Structure 1
Amino acid sequence: MTRPLDPVEELLRVVLGLTDCLVFEFDAEGRYLAAWTSSDSLLAAPREAFLGRRISEVMDPATAALTLESIQRVLTRGQPDRFEYSLELEGGRRWFSADAMLVPQRPGVAFMVRDITRQKTLELSLLQADRLAALGTLAAGVAHEVNNPLGYIASNLNFIEEEMAEVQQALAGTPGTEGLALTLEECSEALAEVRQGTTRIHNVVGDLKTFARGEDICSGEERADVRRALEMSINMAMPELRHRARMVLQAEEVPPVRGSESRLGQVFLNLLLNAAQSIPEGAPGKNTVEAHVRAEEHNVVIEIRDTGQGIPPENLKRIFEPFFTTRPAGVGTGLGLAICHSIVIAMRGEMSVESTVGKGTCFRVRLPTA
């Protein structure tokens, strides 16, 4: 039978009902003595599960340590204390601010905890906007410095290809020049690869500008062959893939989609490299990276699956956030998937991810047909 609330507790519940605050009381050893909330949705565990228990048995080690340190500071100094922490709750990650204080004629330390998720989200958005602004300035400078030499490289490539075509034409049918003709053909293939590389550099710079400044890369007239873009990306990713997994391609004949084929190739290449890097080297026979292409009503669906280590749920929610990366400092910028996501959105498409730790990941791109 539930005991009736005394007038003070009843008043406290009414006040808490008008705010987003929680109130906890701990003893000197960090045991929960009491808890008052307007709603249990912000609690890490049901009230009956933690009252009387130490906070280290209920909360994660980092939050428990912060709370215990705050309790000791308040008991030692007799002054209020404040700290912030975050929790992964059913509705997602939430941020909290905890104010600790002594309460006269009470046995422990009281904490008033406020939900500051909106404030933290705004702070992170402002920080991201500032970083994106800096990135936009940097991208503009990089684009200027890189595009200038790329311009004359492309121009010289055109000149060389035209001159070589004339030489090949002049040698055609001339006895004794078969070896030279073969050499010229090999040089032509090498030049084609160089041209592909310069186009790639140009697109990477363009992707940075697109991401930082929000330029529209979905032309109303441009059409992209999904299968061709995917096959090109697989060829480019094979040096990274072949030592880690078997590559499996299952592609139906699908209609073209609206947008840039080269940028779509950028998306596929990034996803393939991410898939490869999630699988350790040395056992390609035991792992696979699969690419599936199919038509679905008025869309083309592309799935890239791997049997890698998978993505933890707490990271899965932030996977497309700019600058979010789980790689060590200096290894990843946290922009790869964010750029891919922005390219797909600009092509009026959708991008999603499913993952299970220890089993693998599936990235799904859905694009409207042209």
Structure 2
Amino acid sequence: MCAFEVPPPVPHPLEPAEELLQVVLGLTDSLVFEFDAEGRYLSAWAGSEALLAAPREAFLGRHISEVMDPATAARTLESIQRVLARGEPERFEYSLELEGGRRWFSADAMRVPQRPGVAFLVRDITRQKTLELSLLQADRLAALGTLAAGVAHEVSNPLGYISSNLNFIEEGLAEVRQALAGAPGLAPQALTLEECAEALTEARQGTTRIRNVVGDLKTFSRGEDTRPGEERADVRRALEMSLNMAMPELRHRARVVWRAEEVPPVRGSESRLGQVFLNLLLNAAQAISEGAPGENTVEAHLRAEDGKVVVEIRDTGHGIPPENLKRIFEPFFTTRPAGVGTGLGLAICHSIIIAMRGELTVESTVGKGTCFRVRLPTD
């Protein structure tokens, strides 16, 4: 009789890959989740079970809405459906309130060959996000510093005629008061009352103008506490706010041409979008020398095109040389003299638009001008 040795069991072909993934994840704080098309967990991996909110087995088969908060679950499910439909990877960020405060995460979604669902690589980016928010605030403050003189002028003008009108009203009311008190030779003057009413209307218009200026500044400079993906931005309102704020810098350099179509809202922060437009408008102003506003233009166009919202900011300034155009979105790259500007403005603009799943591109011809183009998805 021949004896046959029983061969050892052959491991499942995915087991070595899972072991390798476990080793790689053990070197990081990253997590990997896999979902089916309906948003149910197919698998979950982490370098340490401590990084998971529950044991790995507790995730399997459950729907994402049973584990995550509604907003994050909705964003993840939308991402799953887009990746399955388009076959292209995508990335989004979200935040959660955990013990010790808010934590920020990035989620990279992609199809995995020979697998039924979509895999997500989730990383804790709280440190990076904290630095990014600090840079955003620093860029806002730098822009506000550039605008300071113009804003002061925008506020002092209406304050001047408010003060003048109030003095006129005070004198007119004194005359009416004397007439009503029966002062000799005086009678109530209807004309004086009408003039006081007109002065009050002008004063009210002045206070509205100041309120609008201050409101735009507050919107632009405020720190945000909204979670990414939960906010819908009105692109037209963000662009109008930025134009209002940049106008003191623009009006002495160029004519402003503003054309806008009706466009749908986009997913993202309106104040951050305003920060992008303000930076681009200030760059356009600084590309044009003062003294000949009738000979130069800065154009701002807003339209819908191929399922995207498109904003173009075009100037007739000195243009950007080709060698600089290649590096224009690099952090700290600047062609300005030392001590003028941080070199972060366009890099921050680029990162804001990319985070909104959009594109920021530039075209320029030396001596003719520059066009920055922002494209944002509406889904």
TM-score, structure 1 length as denominator? Answer: 0.47
TM-score, structure 2 length as denominator? Answer: 0.46
